[in-house]
């Protein structure tokens, strides 16, 4: 930047001041908590840290978390692709309404997202007696955890894809149609390659939320140690038992997951930004 | 293969895009759909391609006498070139051109080597030899346009449809490509229909020009007919380069600048001439343009050859007499 | 109606079925459950002092948190979009941390920082301010959660602003401050409102990051989602459904209202 400033920017002192304030806000708000997770986890030393991670209950919580995410993320990815294709490639009556329905779960508290399933499938819920008769457990078991997670995380992939596919228009797909391509071929070799980065980020974000979901899962899980505790719930239990270091040790796993997600996001933006720049 | 369009209607919600449009595109012709934006020309082209569907009713599209209205775009055998080319950005030039062939069902799909040969042949045809490994973003606008053309031709289409083929190009590239396309068309002889809003492009390039306005066809004819015998004031004005002379309150005369005869004021004949004063004179190049002011205050453009201008030795402020010829509508 | 691209029936069927099963049916079930309770009980539940106190805290803290997020988010977005400086990309990627960090982790961490013996808490304690286990703690957690919504909504709009209008204003003699107030800010208002609303709506329902730092004292630091959980734990499904239905109605109404406002503003700026 030159010493005489352009009319569309601020003078240098103002610029420096604003940068400093922004950096301060971000450090205090965001960086400090991130550092605190690791600092608290290691407060009592590495040995205790590693010991807490090796604990059997921690492992079963990790397994359950992976299972819940492993089931709900593919489902929501499928939904995201389907919904995005529907609302960006076609115009139809009720489209705007459908769009706002997709956003709806954002406005629903996670606690409510969990509780609706208790009302339906819980012991005192509508289907509770029938389920009990047939010895099917949904609430306080894996299926409940999965459906609650699906509810909370379902807009993520769709939300990432819809603006992207909308901005790309349907020209390339139409060109493929005139060349005789069928639906699957169009999707696989024309649409998918041009949305792959957005899709990847949507899936990652969905996954991060699925693994970290707390409120909804907390309502449906029943907090059975070693059985229906996901990792965030296990952290809560440890914390409430004043095993702070152990709680934070488990929290570092999730914090690392968040960091990896952010890192890949930056990378994806860098890569896709790079190709999109060279396009022009 | 000829294209026949019969009684096509198209509405988008309450907006009428096409009203009772019928048209014949002769086999092997190069036909231009010319009109301002919103006249319905692109919609008509997309209906011919099967990318849009006419409203229910008697309307139909026939290729060589065969009704194709119910045939989906992918099976109609149309080569469509999009305004912004719609190249597949993540594929190479070669992959783009081969797309229509590699997408055929296995039983009809040519062998890999044959596809390769066909791609090379097409690249040669559009003068892009050796660029098959490039990606669309590495090409210039004119090159992209020709890749789009090669891709459309790869499926051996029955007809070629182009939407504003030169719309996104620079003036010079436009001119070159226009000439190239004319020669190219004459070589392959494929029935071609293209959309443009540029009258010069339509007149210079096409065998047949279809002027469209407000969802209807205004006039169809050879460029000569359209230019010399415009059927309506709209066509007159849209083709440009025309003077509108108000004769009285509700009638106008249209006359092109080069059709006006100029003589000295001294030779003025009130029976078939009008007196005027030269207001501005532009004489760079072989043709000189005078802006003159009639006695009633109307301005007209007059074109004459440089030689004529020198012979008459005219200058700004001179009084002259104009012969406007017989009154056209 | 005929369609050019394939897949309309398939995607429509799947999308609607999935939406219906996962979202609509459960939410309708919730409202039916809540409606099954007499209106008298509705009124009783919703006007009980404990619910009112929780509602006041939830909506109040959410509102102020979204407001603070908006102001600080505006500044941060501006700096990230307009200035080039070392560490910009790093700070930019940090903005998404609250999206990616599980709420329970955020909750225990913020508590550790703002507790009276925590990194920031001990400094606040010197001035007699207690953040954790106080409404202030709720406010801090909700600001943390809402902040990225504002920044991420503003950034693309700022990038698209185009310098021409600013240059035009400058050539007309406007100073930088005037340009910001009279030209830039008005163009950002719709995005700012959207960001605020998203942050606000998210804060109202937030649970994980708040339960640890709030201390959960009924009438003092209890938020609505927590109140619902405690009703559920006592198997008072009816009361929980009524509170939840009330919350949802308020959230949906808010989003709807602000959508309307947004459309009018958008329209004005065309």
The predicted-structure confidence for A202-252, as pLDDT tens digits, reads as follows 999 899 999 999 999 999 987 777 778 999 999 999 999 999 999 999 999
Q: How many CB pairs under 8 A join A and B?
A: 71
Which residue segment(s) compose the domain that A14 sits in? 1-41
pLDDT, tens digit, 9 for 90 and up, residues A122-143: 888 888 889 988 988 888 899 9
Lowest mean pLDDT among A273-277, B31-35, C4-8, C242-246: A273-277
* Same domain, yes or no: A14 and A143: no
Residue A55 to residue A68: CA distance in whole angstroms: 20
Q: Hey, CA dihedral for C34, C37, C38, C41, is it positive or negative?
A: negative
In a domain? residue B328: no
Which CA distances in Å does A127 have to A119, A124, C55, C239?
9, 8, 31, 19
Average pLDDT, chain A: 88
Instruction: Calculate the CA A267 to chain-centre distance.
Output: 17
Count of domains for chain C: 2
pLDDT exceeding 90 applies to what percent of chain B? 53
* Same domain, yes or no: C176 and C242: yes
Q: What pLDDT sits at residue B259?
A: 86
Nearest CA in chain B to C6: B72
Nearest CA in chain B to A194: B90
Element containing residue A118 per DSSP (H, E): helix A110-121
Q: How many CB pairs under 8 A join A and C?
A: 274
Q: Hey, CA dihedral for C99, C104, C109, C112, is it positive or negative?
A: positive
pLDDT exceeding 90 applies to what percent of chain A? 58
Tell me which of A108, A176, A177 to substitute to probe the interface with C (most C C-beta atoms closer than 10 Å): A108
* Same domain, yes or no: B189 and B284: no
Q: Which of B237, B270, B288 is the last residue of a domain?
A: B237
pLDDT, tens digit, 9 for 90 and up, residues B273-319: 888 999 999 888 888 899 999 888 889 999 988 888 888 888 898 89
In a domain? residue B329: no
Residue C158 to residue B179: CA distance in whole angstroms: 44
Residue B101 to residue A265: CA distance in whole angstroms: 37
Mind giving me the DSSP string for A37-59? Answer: HHHHHTTT-HHHHHHHHH-HHHH
Partner residue facing A90 (CB), from C3, C24, C103? C3
Burial of residue A199 (CB within 10 Å: 0-12, 13-18, 19+) is: buried
Q: What pLDDT sits at residue A251?
A: 95
Contact C144, A29 (CB under 8 A): yes
Tokens of C82: 């307009």
Q: What pLDDT sits at residue B173?
A: 84
* Same domain, yes or no: B278 and B317: yes
3-state secondary structure at position B278: strand
Mind giving me the DSSP string for A173-203? Answer: HHHHHHTT--HHHHIIIIIHHHHHHHHHHHH
Q: Are strands B274-282 and B319-323 parallel, antiparallel or unpaired?
A: antiparallel
* Same domain, yes or no: B125 and B225: yes
Find the mean pLDDT for residues B125-145: 92
Nearest CA in chain A to C86: A19
Residues from chain B contacting residue C7 (CB–CB below 8 Å): none
C237 touches A: beta carbon within 8 Å: yes
Cβ contact, residue pair C15, A23, below 8 Å: no
Partner residue facing B88 (CB), from A172, A178, A182? A172
Cβ contact, residue pair A193, B90, below 8 Å: yes
pLDDT, tens digit, 9 for 90 and up, residues B48-70: 999 999 998 889 999 999 999 98
Nearest CA in chain A to C207: A215
Of residues C175 and B287, the one with the higher pLDDT is B287
* Same domain, yes or no: C153 and C26: no
Tell me which of B72, B76, B86, B103 to substitute to probe the interface with C (most C C-beta atoms closer than 10 Å): B72
* Same domain, yes or no: B262 and B197: no
A121 touches C: beta carbon within 8 Å: no
Q: Which of residues 226-255 of A touch C (CB under 8 A)?
A: 232-233, 235-236, 239, 244, 247-248, 251, 254-255
Cβ contact, residue pair A19, C83, below 8 Å: yes
pLDDT, tens digit, 9 for 90 and up, residues C58-71: 999 999 999 999 99
Residues from chain B contacting residue A274 (CB–CB below 8 Å): none
Q: Are strands B30-34 and B191-196 parallel, antiparallel or unpaired?
A: parallel
Partner residue facing A175 (CB), from B75, B76, B86? B86
Nearest CA in chain C to A232: C104
* Same domain, yes or no: A244 and A273: yes
Q: Which of B86, C250, B17 is nearest to A179 (CA)?
A: B86
Q: Among all chains, which residue has been given the structure tokens 């090669």?
A: B150
Average pLDDT, chain C: 89
* Same domain, yes or no: A69 and A37: no
Q: Residue B51: count other Cβ atoms within 10 Å of its Cβ.
A: 24
Q: Which of B217, B237, B257 is the last residue of a domain?
A: B237
CATH number at residue B136: 3.40.50.300
Q: What pLDDT sits at residue C270?
A: 44
Q: Which of B182, B204, B237 is the last residue of a domain?
A: B237
Lowest mean pLDDT among A179-183, B183-187, B252-256: B252-256
Contact A8, C170 (CB under 8 A): yes
In B246-329, alpha helices (H): 306-312
* Same domain, yes or no: B160 and B261: no
What count of residues does chain C have?
270
Min Cα–Cα distance to chain C from A265, Å: 8
- Per the DSSP assignment, residues forming a β-bridge with B194 are B32, B162
For B78-150, list the strands marked E by DSSP: 78-81
Count of domains for chain A: 2
Contacts of A106 (CB under 8 A, 6+ apart): A155, C198, C201, C202
* Same domain, yes or no: A23 and A137: no
- Radius of gyration of chain B from Cα atoms? 24
* Same domain, yes or no: A51 and A30: no
C2 touches B: beta carbon within 8 Å: yes
Min Cα–Cα distance to chain B from A21, Å: 40
Count of domains for chain B: 2
Q: Which of A274, A258, A30, A163 is nearest to C76 (CA)?
A: A30
* Same domain, yes or no: C16 and C134: no
* Same domain, yes or no: A22 and A100: no
pLDDT, tens digit, 9 for 90 and up, residues B59-102: 999 999 999 998 888 889 999 999 989 999 889 999 999 999 98
* Same domain, yes or no: B128 and B271: no
Of residues B48 and B325, the one with the higher pLDDT is B48
Crossing angle of helices C8-19/A95-103, nearest 10°?
A: 40
Residue A187 to residue A196: CA distance in whole angstroms: 11
CATH number at residue B263: 2.40.50.100
Of residues A94 and A8, the one with the higher pLDDT is A94
3-state secondary structure at position B293: strand
Residues from chain C contacting residue B52 (CB–CB below 8 Å): 4
Contact C225, C206 (CB under 8 A): yes
B49 touches A: beta carbon within 8 Å: yes
* Same domain, yes or no: A130 and A163: yes
Residues from chain B contacting residue A193 (CB–CB below 8 Å): 88, 90-91
Min Cα–Cα distance to chain B from C7, Å: 14
Residue C261 to residue C194: CA distance in whole angstroms: 10
* Same domain, yes or no: A7 and A89: no
Cβ-based interface (< 8 Å): residues of B facing C? 50-53, 72-73
* Same domain, yes or no: A141 and A60: yes
Residues from chain A contacting residue C205 (CB–CB below 8 Å): 107-112
Min Cα–Cα distance to chain C from B55, Å: 9
Cβ contact, residue pair B88, A175, below 8 Å: yes
* Same domain, yes or no: A86 and A20: no
* Same domain, yes or no: A12 and A131: no
In B129-232, alpha helices (H): 141-154, 171-188, 199-205, 223-228
* Same domain, yes or no: C80 and C124: yes
Which residue segment(s) compose the domain that C14 sits in? 1-35
In chain C, alpha helices (H): 8-19, 25-35, 39-46, 49-82, 88-94, 97-100, 103-114, 121-126, 135-160, 163-171, 176-178, 185-205, 208-214, 224-233, 237-268
* Same domain, yes or no: B272 and B145: no
3-state secondary structure at position A225: coil
* Same domain, yes or no: B92 and B191: yes
* Same domain, yes or no: B135 and B281: no
In a domain? residue B296: yes
- Which letter does DSSP use for residue B127 in this model? T
Contact B268, B255 (CB under 8 A): no
* Same domain, yes or no: B300 and B172: no
Lowest mean pLDDT among A188-202, B68-82, C46-60, C152-166: C152-166
CATH number at residue C243: 1.10.3720.10
Lowest mean pLDDT among A3-7, A16-20, A169-173, C155-159: A3-7
CATH number at residue A79: 1.10.3720.10
Q: What pLDDT sits at residue A276?
A: 36
* Same domain, yes or no: C122 and C3: no
* Same domain, yes or no: B7 and B107: yes
pLDDT, tens digit, 9 for 90 and up, residues B146-181: 999 999 999 999 999 999 988 878 888 888 888 888
Backbone conformation region of residue B92, classed left if phi is above 0, alpha if psi is from -120 to 50, else beta? beta
C5 touches A: beta carbon within 8 Å: yes
Cβ contact, residue pair A34, C83, below 8 Å: no
C100 touches A: beta carbon within 8 Å: yes
Average pLDDT, chain B: 90
Which residue segment(s) compose the domain that B266 sits in? 241-323
Q: Hey, CA dihedral for B50, B55, B61, B67, is it positive or negative?
A: positive
Element containing residue C127 per DSSP (H, E): none
* Same domain, yes or no: A59 and A75: yes
pLDDT, tens digit, 9 for 90 and up, residues B273-284: 888 999 999 888
Find the mean pLDDT for residues C18-29: 93
């Amino acid at each position: 930047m030159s010493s005489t400033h352009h009319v569309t920017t601020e003078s240098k002192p103002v610029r420096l001041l604003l940068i400093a304030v922004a950096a301060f806000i971000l450090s205090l708000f965001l960086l400090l908590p991130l550092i605190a997770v690791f600092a608290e986890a290691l407060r009592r030393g590495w040995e205790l840290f590693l010991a807490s991670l090796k604990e059997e209950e921690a492992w079963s919580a990790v397994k359950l978390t992976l299972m819940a995410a492993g089931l709900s993320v593919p489902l929501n990815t499928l939904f995201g692709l389907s919904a995005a294709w529907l609302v960006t490639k076609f115009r139809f009556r009720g489209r705007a309404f459908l769009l706002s329905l997709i956003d709806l779960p954002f406005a629903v508290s996670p606690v409510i997202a969990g509780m609706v399933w208790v009302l339906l499938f819980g012991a005192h819920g509508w289907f509770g007696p029938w389920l009990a008769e047939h010895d099917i457990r949904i609430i306080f078991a894996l299926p409940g955890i999965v459906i609650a997670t699906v509810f909370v995380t379902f807009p993520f992939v769709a939300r990432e894809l819809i603006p992207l596919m909308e901005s790309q228009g349907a020209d390339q797909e139409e060109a493929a149609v005139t060349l005789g391509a069928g639906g699957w071929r169009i999707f696989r070799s024309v649409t998918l390659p041009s949305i792959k980065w957005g899709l990847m980020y949507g899936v990652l974000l969905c996954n991060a939320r699925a693994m970290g979901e707390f409120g909804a899962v907390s309502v449906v899980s029943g907090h059975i140690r070693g059985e229906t505790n996901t990792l965030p719930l296990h952290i809560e239990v440890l914390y409430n038992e004043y095993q702070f270091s152990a709680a934070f040790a488990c929290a570092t796993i999730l914090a690392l997951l968040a960091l990896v997600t952010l890192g890949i996001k930056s990378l994806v933006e860098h890569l896709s930004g790079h190709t999109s720049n060279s396009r022009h | 293969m000829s294209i026949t369009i019969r009684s096509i209607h198209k509405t988008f919600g309450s907006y009428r895009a096409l009203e009772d449009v019928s048209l014949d595109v002769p086999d092997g012709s190069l036909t231009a759909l010319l009109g301002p934006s919103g006249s319905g020309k692109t919609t008509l082209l997309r209906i011919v391609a099967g990318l849009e569907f006419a409203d229910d009713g008697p309307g139909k599209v026939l290729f060589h006498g065969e009704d194709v209205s119910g045939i989906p775009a992918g099976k109609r055998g149309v080569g469509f070139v999009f305004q912004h080319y719609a190249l597949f950005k993540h594929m190479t030039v070669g992959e783009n051109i081969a797309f229509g062939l590699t997408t055929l069902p296995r039983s009809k799909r040519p062998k890999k080597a044959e596809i390769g040969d066909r791609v090379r042949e097409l690249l040669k045809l559009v003068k892009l030899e050796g660029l098959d490994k490039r990606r669309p973003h590495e090409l210039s606008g004119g090159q992209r346009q020709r890749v789009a053309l090669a891709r459309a031709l790869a499926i051996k289409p029955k007809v070629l449809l182009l939407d504003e083929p030169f719309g996104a190009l620079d003036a010079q590239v436009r001119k070159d490509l226009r000439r190239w396309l004319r020669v190219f068309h004459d070589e392959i002889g494929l029935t071609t229909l293209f959309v443009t809003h540029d009258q010069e492009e339509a007149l210079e390039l096409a065998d047949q020009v279809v002027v469209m306005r407000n969802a209807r066809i205004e006039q169809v004819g050879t460029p000569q007919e359209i230019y010399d015998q415009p059927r309506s004031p709209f066509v007159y004005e849209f083709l440009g380069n025309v003077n509108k002379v108000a004769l009285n309150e509700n009638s106008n005369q249209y006359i092109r600048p080069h059709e006006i005869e100029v003589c000295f004021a001294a030779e003025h004949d009130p029976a078939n001439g009008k007196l005027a004063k030269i207001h501005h004179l532009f004489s760079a190049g072989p043709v000189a343009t005078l802006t003159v002011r009639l006695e009633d205050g109307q301005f007209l453009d007059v074109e004459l050859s440089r030689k004529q201008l020198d012979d008459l030795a005219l200058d700004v402020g001179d009084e002259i007499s104009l012969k406007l010829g017989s009154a056209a509508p | 109606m005929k369609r050019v691209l394939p897949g309309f029936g398939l995607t429509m069927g799947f999308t609607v079925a999935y939406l219906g099963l996962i979202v609509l049916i459960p939410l309708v079930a919730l409202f039916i459950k809540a409606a099954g309770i007499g209106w008298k009980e509705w009124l009783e539940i919703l006007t009980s002092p404990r619910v009112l106190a929780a509602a006041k805290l939830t909506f109040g803290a959410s509102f102020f948190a979204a407001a603070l997020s908006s102001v600080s988010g505006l500044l941060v977005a501006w700096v990230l979009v307009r200035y080039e400086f070392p560490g910009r990309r790093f700070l930019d990627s940090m903005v998404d941390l609250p999206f990616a960090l599980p709420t329970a982790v955020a909750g225990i961490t913020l508590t550790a920082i703002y507790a009276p013996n925590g990194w920031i808490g001990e400094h606040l304690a010197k001035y007699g301010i207690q953040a954790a286990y106080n409404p202030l703690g709720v406010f801090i957690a909700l600001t943390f959660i809402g902040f990225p919504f504002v920044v991420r909504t503003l950034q693309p709009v700022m990038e698209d602003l185009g310098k021409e209008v600013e240059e035009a204003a400058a050539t007309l003699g406007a100073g930088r401050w005037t340009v910001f107030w009279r030209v830039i800010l008005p163009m950002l208002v719709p995005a700012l409102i959207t960001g605020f609303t998203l942050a606000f709506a998210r804060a109202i329902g937030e649970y994980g990051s708040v339960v640890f730092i709030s201390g959960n004292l009924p009438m003092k630091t209890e938020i609505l989602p927590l109140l619902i959980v405690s009703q559920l734990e006592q198997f008072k499904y009816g009361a929980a459904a009524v509170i939840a239905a009330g919350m949802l109605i308020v959230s949906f109404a808010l989003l709807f209202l602000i959508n309307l406002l947004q459309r009018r503003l958008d329209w004005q700026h065309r």
